[in-house]
Amino acid sequence: MPLNVQTLSAKWGDYALLDSGGRLKLERFGDCVVVRSEPKAWWSPARKSLWDSADARYFDDDKKSARWEFFKKVSPPKLKFGKVEFLTKFMDGSKHLGVFPEQKPHWEFIMSMAGAFGAKLAKAGLPPRRPTLLNLFGYTGAATLAAAAAGYEAVHVDASKPSVEWARRNQAASGLGSAPIRWIVDDALKFAAREARRGRKYDAIVLDPPAFGRGPKNELWKLEKMLPELLGACSRILSDTPLFVLMTLYSIDASPIMAANVLCERFGARAGFSAECGELVLEPEDGLSYPLPLSIWASASFA
């Protein structure tokens, strides 16, 4: 089956990749400039003079004493994406601030697909309703809130209670408190299998599974072993008026075409099926440094 393989790059006013290299990246979140480790930045920095402008750096050479070090007094920045507001924070033991800017093209895709749902229902002779979206491994809710802002009815699942609580704070900050979102702390595979047994259906499914993880009851997750089972459950809960399945993978030895192949295997027999895949890339702000690839993705869409 022919595949559309493409690179999706994120450019965003509230975020910028300033430079990368030497297994580090220099970024701006709002007005705050930070240095974080980046194993994929094998090259040398292109704009060495900029690195002294950093407000903070995350040191994780020694995992036991990984920490943020601040060179200036800074507050965690708030980031805006349309109606959605992301609250960030600095946490010792984690280089992540609570949002993955490279996924901005996915938020835009999710929002753009909502408009096609009315025509899909009309074509099937069905009455108007909101599209339903399931976000598995939803973290702090970026994709969920983008969906809610576009009119979806969303279910957000993550095994981490602190992450789900963070997502709910993002919901409040975004003024989306009345949006139809269910927030669930659960193991993604168990939840999807349970929804299949219940006969629940979703028009769109987003999944961002890690290579390795633990559920809320210490359930073991290994991507290579358990992804086929998860996608099998997803195929059973995808509705008869499907919009898309969107999957992002990171920190694994895989290619975009591998990711697309597993979606083709599970969803390729559906009417109107097409597949796309590629990489999520951060483009440097001024084009002087190199683009930074961070994860691979694949999507199944249904015309």
Q: Is the per-residue pLDDT at 114 higher than 90?
A: yes
Q: Among candidates 150, 154, 152, which has minimal Cα distance to 129?
A: 152
Distance (Å, whole) CA 118 – CA 120: 5
Distance (Å, whole) CA 110 – CA 135: 11
pLDDT band at 61 (very low <50, low <70, confident <90, very high): confident
pLDDT, position 219: 77
- Residue 171, domain member (yes or no): yes
- Residue 248, domain member (yes or no): yes
Supply the range of the domain harboring residue 180: 4-12+94-302
Count Cα atoms within 13 angstroms, Cβ side, for 221: 22
Residue 83 near residue 149, CB atoms below 8 Å: yes
Q: Model confidence over 190-249: pLDDT tens digits? A: 999 999 999 999 999 999 998 888 877 777 888 889 999 999 999 999 999 999 999 999
Q: Model confidence over 76-107: pLDDT tens digits? A: 999 999 999 999 999 988 999 999 999 999 99
- Residue 280, domain member (yes or no): yes
Q: Is the per-residue pLDDT at 1 higher than 60?
A: no
Query: How many domains are there within the chain?
Result: 1
Instruction: Tell me the backbone φ, ψ of residue 143, rounded to 5 degrees.
Output: -65, -35
- Residue 161, domain member (yes or no): yes
- Residue 215, domain member (yes or no): yes
Q: Model confidence over 123-172: pLDDT tens digits? A: 999 999 999 999 999 999 999 999 999 999 999 999 999 999 999 999 99
Q: Model confidence over 8-24: pLDDT tens digits? A: 886 788 999 999 999 99
Q: Give the residue-averaged pLDDT of 176-196.
A: 97
- Residue 51, domain member (yes or no): no
- Residue 27, domain member (yes or no): no
- Residue 71, domain member (yes or no): no
Contacts by 24-33, CB closer than 8 A, 24 or more apart: 25/282, 25/292, 26/50, 26/51, 26/54, 27/101, 28/285, 29/77, 29/79, 29/88, 29/97, 30/77, 30/78, 30/79, 31/77, 32/56, 32/74, 32/75, 32/76, 32/77
pLDDT, position 297: 97
pLDDT band at 3 (very low <50, low <70, confident <90, very high): low
User: Would you give the distance in Å from CA 74 to the centre of its chain?
Assistant: 26
CATH number at residue 139: 3.40.50.150
Q: What percent of the chain has pLDDT over 90?
A: 84
pLDDT, position 252: 87
Q: Model confidence over 244-300: pLDDT tens digits? A: 999 999 988 889 999 999 999 999 999 999 999 999 999 998 888 999 999 999 999
